[in-house]
Amino acid sequence: MTRTPDILALKTRHDAEHLAQGFDALLAEAHQLTASISHGAHGRRRSGAGEEFWQYRMAVETDAVRDIDWRRSARSDDHFVRQHEWQNTQSVHLWVDRGASMLFRSQETLPMKAQRAAVLGLAIGILLAKGGEKVGLTDLDDPPRQGLAQVEKMAVALAHTFPDHEFSTPARKEMKQGQKAVYISDFLGEWDEIFESLSYAANQNVNGYLVQILDSVEEDFPFRGRTVLFSMNEGHKFETLRAQSLRDEYREKLAERKAALQQLSQKTGWRYICHQTGEPASIPLIWLYQALGGHT
Amino acid sequence: MSGINFLSPMLLWALLLLPVLWWLLRAVPPAPIRAKFPGILLLLGLKDKETTPDRTPWWLLALRILALAAAIIGFAGPVLNPTDTQGSAKNLVILMDASWASADNWRKRQAKLTEVLRSADQDNRPTVMFKMSDRPQSLVRPNFVAPKVYLQQVNGLTPSPWRPDFASWISYLSAQDTDFDTVWFSDGLDTPERSDLHNTLQSKGRVSVYEDENPVVALNPPHVKDGNMMATVQRSWANAALDVSANAIGPDPNGVSQTLGSATVQFSPGETQAELVFDMPSELRNRVKSVVLAGQRSAGTVVVTGDTVQRRKVALISAADQQEAADLMSDVFYLRKALVPTAEVIETDLKTTLLANPDVMIFVDVGKLSETETRDVTKWVANGGLLVRFAGPRLAASQIGLQAEHPLLPVRLRAGGRSIGGAMSWGAPKKLRDFVEGTTFHGLKIPDEVTINSQVVAQPDPNLAKRVVATLQDGTPLVTQKSAGNGRVVLFHVTANAEWSNLPLSGLFVQMLERLAVSTAGNLEDIQDLGGLIWKPEEMIDAFGIIRDVSDRSGVEGTVLASRALSADLPPGVYSNAGRKAALNVLAKDDILVKANWPTGAIVLSLEKSAQRFLKPYFIIMALGLMLLDIFASLWLSGKLSRRFAGQVAVIALALTFTHPNQSVAQSDDALSNLINNTVLGYVKTGNTKVDKTAHAGLLGLSAELFRRTSVEPITPVGVDIEQDELSIFPFLYWPISDHQTSPSDSAVDKLNRFLRSGGMILFDTRDAHLSSGISGGTPNGRMLQKIAARLEIPPLEPVPDDHVLTRSFYLLQEFPGRHAGSSVWIEAAPADATKIEGTPFRNLNDGVTPVVIGGNDWASAWAIDKNGRYMYPVGRGQAGDQQREYAQRFGVNLIMYVLTGNYKSDQVHIPALLDRLGQ
């Protein structure tokens, strides 16, 4: 018997524990975040399949006889049909950017963008799961599922980052019409790729929500003097002799990027928010929760 | 020479690069900030609008330029007040005159020598050092070695009390075929061969001479003039006015050396000689053994007197008092002539004379004395008096000593006398036979014209042969002598006037009187008959002017002594022969000090130390400091100096600030007065906290034991910083040696030496008796001790002998354990001539208390108590250990008692009691 299997087993377990740790922490953080938001069953404010009474309406020819509410009809000459509120579950697809560009923070006191994104994603997942909706990750093969068990699964997946990918683009996944997709990323990668991926989702007629997470440094560009900037994996390098002179231009570019995202959302009826890691995570969470709930 | 010089000035051209560097540093952008930035894709494609890069701030540039400039200047080797050390790679010969004239500022010379050797070491010059007061070993070629070798010897180098033999050095050095540069430490006195030697050396290479800027001061031997003792002080050349005072030193009636008189004189500016006049009564003057210039330490400022100033009291007793004869016919005329210049002559009656207690009595033709007088004179002779008798008609007529030997005559006499060569007698006047070897007069030359006409004749007798000192050619005794008690009786068988012989007319007569120590002339040049005698050195003067009794040196031929050529074989001092003492001083009576006269072109440099300072380390340190500052400034500029690093910067800054910490505790005024008013034990702070703590606790324990057991009531012990603190307030210092000990500075060494000289005691404890037995260089602590002790004035040592006071100053002890036991403890060696008093087990040791006690038994650990009074360290095992600690404490008590009471217990008074206790 060689020792290799043992060592391998050990390593696997070690990794798993490591993984679990990250995922526990994520989950705990997400739970903590959601605790502040009260939630309940949310009717669709439309008639449809459901338990709750919605309205009586005049029966039309196409209505089946068994649908007629005879007790109501008896009170008048017409036939009425009792409609229930539509209470279907929504499916929400989450895409949380875990690429290298997200593994950045400018100060020790700030969370990494990826962490903020994961916490945000998980938190909204928890809220949705508690509301009975189906949630899932676009980069997982499984379709969205109900229940907190699914959230845990997501947490495990979110604890796993991809530091090898310099910039990751939103994963493409077949989605059904009317499903919702939440994209949490810094959207600092190649615009064309981002645009294509998002367009792909938009073309499937899903409702999209874009959460852009930025670090304060990315927002401010505080560099001065001779500066060499690297991408996270040092795949890209940019050198300037007077960084301060580029600040305005950079901020302009960033504003352009933001405007492009905004424009994309407007075109497709999606919604977009920009969030800085320096701000509390509850702000985008509440925004997202309300947006997903349909209240604006 | 002053100003700044550079060892490698070529490097300074690099300074020209600084402006270029300024331009370059301005042109080249500062080191980029490197950062990760996810938003980089947005930047790609952006162009710098301004082409001028961001500038390094001017002050940072200035800082860097300054740092670089400091480094360049530093490496160029700046020297403040440079001496002539041109970087030369030639072999170096260092010549030290090392004579007595160098002794007064020997320290300065040693410091300078160290400096010279250091710089030679820096230049890697093979070096050889010669002490020219030693003779050259003509067969041995100079062995050029690394200067480091000599650096170790500098402290052990001592001058000699004589001048170098330049002639032999010239021949030795000119015989060398290699070239060399020379550094010559001259003693500042002229010698005829000096310029020859200088020329010889110059033919070999560069010669630089170091000479003191002050004249050499020396003392001529004193002489007596008009009843006063006078001595001439000289200086080698005249500078400003100078007050000198001199002390005449000799034994007081108890035999203890004391200052018997002193004199002061001032050199006026421009004067090289001054006369010291000692006004002192002749009784005191006769005791003077040496004259010492105060405040100087060289053999030249000390003169031993021998018999020079001792004017013997010589009583001339002549029977023919009121004879009105012509002077030339007088009995005593020739004697008086011979004696008056060198002796104090008393001429009065016998009774009065005896009261004056003269050294010598001369009976000139004295016949019979009364019973009482005979008895008195006999007694006087027995007490050490010298009775010289001259024959004459009266003696011949007195009929004494015919039948039996008279106590005041050396031989029996025959009745009547004999006349030779007279008108009525046979034969020619007799001449003297050559003096036989081994007799008093051996070596004196007998002039041809001395003839004897009449004499009294000795009765042949078994004793006669050995009592004869001089005979006539026919063998008839002319001078006879015998010992009586401590004194002598000498009889000249002729008269003291020219009546019976013409001996008194000759020079021989005076010499004979000298030989008999009737008249004395201590100066060598006045002693005319040195030859043929062996002179035994009694006292020697070393180069520093310290007079030592010597007993182990062999005698010196009179002819050698007469040459007065001081050398290792003939050191200055007092030489004695048969009661006569000849003083051989560095300067003879008429010697004159002459300033060394260097040929023109000779490079003569000062000995002053402060002259040369190598500034290189300061510049390099400055450069490094600036660079360090630059690092922090750059970090700060690039925003990398976060708060975390700020802490480290603060730590470094603090570390730099507090390199010179605490002032010493011992020395605030209040504390000082407290220390002075009490007995306090001190320990030397070694810098090793643990050792210091133990020393403190140890002395605390010892103080407590002293308090408990004795009437010594010390206060809390005090740690002493030997660099700063005043030592004189401590009777006793405990010095634990640790290998962390830094070597004391020169001033500290001086202070320690003063402490040791003025009666302080240091207990050195190497604390490593478990590692080695005795004090040796075998352990790190032992080596450290040797290093320290080498610079202190520590006398010769010996292990504590069984009869030392230390063994009985309070407790009776035979060993001195501390935490370790068994290793021997060393103290100042007893003088070799300390003798045992009959019937007691103790020798009669000298007065001094040993200045050092050296051992390795780690006493402090055995004594150490904590603040609750508990012992801090275990000693031994079980009961034996308790006993060992008890002995350690007893040793401590004994030691402190010894320090405080000196050799009180050595006093013979205590011996009966001690014997009683010892059961003997």
Tell me which residue of B290, B192, B278, B275 sits closest to B234, measured CA to CA: B275
CB contact under 8 A, B48 and A246: yes
pLDDT at B1 over 50: no
Residue A206 lies in a domain: yes
A262 and A137 within one domain = yes
CB-based contact, A263 to chain B, within 8 Å:
no
Q: Which residues of B touch A250 (CB under 8 A)?
A: 39, 42-43, 46
A109 and A67 within one domain = no
CB-based contact, A227 to chain B, within 8 Å:
yes
Q: Are strands B534-541 and B547-549 parallel, antiparallel or unpaired?
A: antiparallel
pLDDT tens figures, B789-823: 877 877 778 888 887 888 888 888 888 888 888 77
Residue B864 lies in a domain: yes
Q: What are phi and psi of A231, to 5 degrees?
A: -75, 170
CB contact under 8 A, B48 and A240: yes
CB contact under 8 A, A229 and B48: no
Which pLDDT score is estimated for A22? 58
Residue B87 lies in a domain: no
CB contact under 8 A, B33 and A250: no
pLDDT at A5 over 50: no
> E-strand spans in B430-530?
454-458, 468-471, 477-484, 487-492
Q: Which residues of A touch B49 (CB under 8 A)?
A: 245
Which pLDDT score is estimated for B888? 92
Of A227, A236, A249, the CB nearest to B35: A227
Tokens 């010089």, residue located: B5
Which pLDDT score is estimated for B698? 92
CA distances from B623 to B9, B64, B66, B659 (A): 18, 9, 8, 19
Q: Which residue has the higher pLDDT, B701 or B35?
A: B701
* 3-state SS, residue A132: coil
Of B42, B53, B638, the CB nearest to A253: B42
Residues in Cβ contact with B658 at an 8 Å cutoff, skipping those fewer than 6 apart: none
pLDDT at B650 over 70: yes
Confidence of residue B892 (pLDDT cuts 50, 70, 90): very high
pLDDT at B584 over 70: yes
Which pLDDT score is estimated for B662? 45
Confidence of residue B19 (pLDDT cuts 50, 70, 90): confident
B868 and B808 within one domain = yes
For chain B, what is the mean pLDDT? 80
Check: CB of residue B322 under 8 Å from CB of residue B309: no
CB-based contact, A251 to chain B, within 8 Å:
no
B747 and B700 within one domain = yes
Tokens 């042949």, residue located: B460
Structural domain containing residue B410: 314-519
Selected for mutation to probe chain A from B42, B50, B60, B642 (highest A CB count within 10 Å) is B42
A211 and A70 within one domain = no
Check: CB of residue B562 under 8 Å from CB of residue B292: no
pLDDT tens figures, B834-878: 555 555 555 554 456 788 888 888 899 999 988 888 888 888 888
* 3-state SS, residue B22: helix
Separation in Å, CA of A182 to nearest CA in chain B: 22
pLDDT tens figures, B425-455: 667 778 888 888 777 787 788 888 888 888 8
B781 and B819 within one domain = yes
Q: Which residues of B touch A188 (CB under 8 A)?
A: 38-39, 41-42
Q: Which residues of B touch A221 (CB under 8 A)?
A: 39
pLDDT tens figures, B306-338: 776 777 788 888 765 545 555 666 778 888 888
Kind and range of the H or E element at B130? Answer: strand B127-131
CB contact under 8 A, B38 and A102: yes
CA-to-CA distance for A228 and A241, rounded, in angstroms?
A: 9
* 3-state SS, residue B525: helix
pLDDT at B340 over 60: yes
pLDDT at B105 over 50: yes
Which pLDDT score is estimated for B659? 53
B224 and B210 within one domain = no
Residue B264 lies in a domain: yes
CA distances from B109 to A59, B116, B129 (A): 131, 10, 14
Confidence of residue B11 (pLDDT cuts 50, 70, 90): confident
CB contact under 8 A, A218 and B39: yes
Which pLDDT score is estimated for B424? 66
pLDDT at B661 over 50: no
Half-sphere exposure (CA, 13 Å, Cβ side) for B872? Answer: 22
Burial profile B799-829: b = 16 or more Cβ within 10 angstroms, e = fewer = bbeebbbbbbbbeebeebbbbbbebbbbbbe
CB contact under 8 A, B38 and A186: yes
Q: How many helices (H) and strands (E) does chain A have?
A: 8, 9
- To 10 degrees, what angle do helices A4-34 and A113-130 make? 70
CB-based contact, A13 to chain B, within 8 Å:
no
B513 and B538 within one domain = no
B536 and B471 within one domain = no
Q: Which residues of A touch B31 (CB under 8 A)?
A: 226
B206 and B251 within one domain = no
Which pLDDT score is estimated for B664? 45
pLDDT at B84 over 70: no
A77 and A160 within one domain = no
Amino acid, res. B215:
P
Q: Considering its fold, how many domains does chain A have in total?
A: 2
Tokens 């005795």, residue located: B774
Global pTM value: 0.47
Residue A6 lies in a domain: no
CB contact under 8 A, B37 and A218: yes
Residue B33 lies in a domain: no
Which pLDDT score is estimated for B28? 65
Which pLDDT score is estimated for B426? 66
Q: How many CB atoms lie within 10 A of CB B891?
A: 28
Which pLDDT score is estimated for B55? 65
Which pLDDT score is estimated for A211? 92
List residues of chain B with CB under 8 Å from any CB of chain A: 29-44, 46, 48-54, 638
- DSSP per-residue string spanning A7-69: HHHHHHHHHHHHHHHHHHHHHHHHHHHHTTS-------SSBSSSSSEEEEEE--TTS-GGGB-
Selected for mutation to probe chain A from B34, B36, B48, B642 (highest A CB count within 10 Å) is B36
Q: Which residue has the higher pLDDT, A44 or B484?
A: B484
CA-to-CA distance for B513 and B504, rounded, in angstroms?
A: 10
Q: Are strands B852-855 and B477-484 parallel, antiparallel or unpaired?
A: unpaired
Q: DSSP letter at B699?
A: H
Separation in Å, CA of A234 to nearest CA in chain B: 8
A65 and A80 within one domain = yes
Of A167, A242, A249, the CB nearest to B53: A242
Tokens read off for B810: 């309070």
Residue B704 lies in a domain: yes
Q: How many CB pairs under 8 A join A and B?
A: 107
Structural domain containing residue A236: 21-34+89-293
Confidence of residue A37 (pLDDT cuts 50, 70, 90): low
Residue B289 lies in a domain: yes
pLDDT at A38 over 80: no
Which pLDDT score is estimated for B50? 58
Of B36, B38, B43, the CB nearest to A246: B43
Lowest mean pLDDT among B363-372, B423-432, B728-737, B753-762: B423-432
Confidence of residue A13 (pLDDT cuts 50, 70, 90): low
Distance spanning both ends of chain A, measured CA to CA: 65
Tokens 């310290």, residue located: B546
Residue A215 lies in a domain: yes
pLDDT tens figures, A231-260: 888 888 888 877 888 888 889 889 999 999
pLDDT tens figures, B740-774: 778 888 888 888 888 887 778 889 888 887 776 55
Separation in Å, CA of A256 to nearest CA in chain B: 10
CB contact under 8 A, B39 and A188: yes
Kind and range of the H or E element at B694? Answer: helix B689-709
Q: Which residues of A touch B54 (CB under 8 A)?
A: 224-226, 241-242
- Complex-level ipTM: 0.73
pLDDT at A2 over 70: no
Q: Considering its fold, how many domains does chain B have in total?
A: 5
- Percentage of chain B with pLDDT > 70? 87
pLDDT at A44 over 60: no
B542 and B477 within one domain = no
B859 and B766 within one domain = yes
Separation in Å, CA of A128 to nearest CA in chain B: 31
Which pLDDT score is estimated for B702? 92
Selected for mutation to probe chain B from A226, A248, A257 (highest B CB count within 10 Å) is A226
pLDDT at B788 over 70: yes
Check: CB of residue B854 under 8 Å from CB of residue B785: yes
Selected for mutation to probe chain A from B28, B40, B47 (highest A CB count within 10 Å) is B40
Q: What is the CATH number of the domain that holds B692?
A: 3.40.50.12140
Residue B653 lies in a domain: no
B332 and B231 within one domain = no
- Percentage of chain B with pLDDT > 90? 3
pLDDT tens figures, B476-522: 888 888 888 878 888 888 888 888 888 888 888 888 887 776 655 55
CB contact under 8 A, B31 and A226: yes
For chain A, what is the mean pLDDT? 80
